[in-house]
Amino acid sequence: MARIPSRGSDQFVVRFPDGMRERIREIAEANGRSMNAEIIERLGSSLKSPEEEARDREHMLLMHNEIQLMQDFMREMFAAANGNPEKLEKSEIFKRAGEVDAKRLESDRARGLPDRKK
């Protein structure tokens, strides 16, 4: 785990263009962070290794696929609502949803994210 910066950490004075300090303050406040934590988070994001970038791209693709699958799943659920629930569980979309969920969980764990609650 990365070390959390403290007052004893290296310091560097930065001159912000007009208005940038206030904008950082607003964004930090909206994200529930200090200005320093916001700046460190953003710098850290821009300094990711190629492996971290690839992992993030893969994760975003999985999220995109999961959203599309959820939309398809919801449509099929509505169509099956008048029928038998076992029919839905045997459907191809239900199986695909389980596969996508498993891949997303694996990606979350690789990124150090906590398990999602079911």
The pLDDT tens digits of the residues spanning 44-53 come to: 888 888 998 8
Q: Which amino acid is at 66?
A: E
- Two tokens at 44? 């850290």
> For residue 71, how far is the Cα from the chain centroid?
19
For the chain, helix (H) and strand (E) counts, in that order, are 5, 0
pLDDT at 113: 76
Q: What ranges make up the beta strands (E) of the chain? A: none
pLDDT at 1: 46
pTM: 0.46
Residue 37 to residues 4, 6, 13, 47, 96, Cα–Cα distance (Å): 9, 10, 15, 15, 39
Low-confidence ranges of the chain (pLDDT < 50): 1
Task: Specify whether the CB–CB gap between 62 and 104 falls below 8 A.
Answer: yes
N residues, the chain = 118
What percentage of the chain carries pLDDT values higher than 70? 85
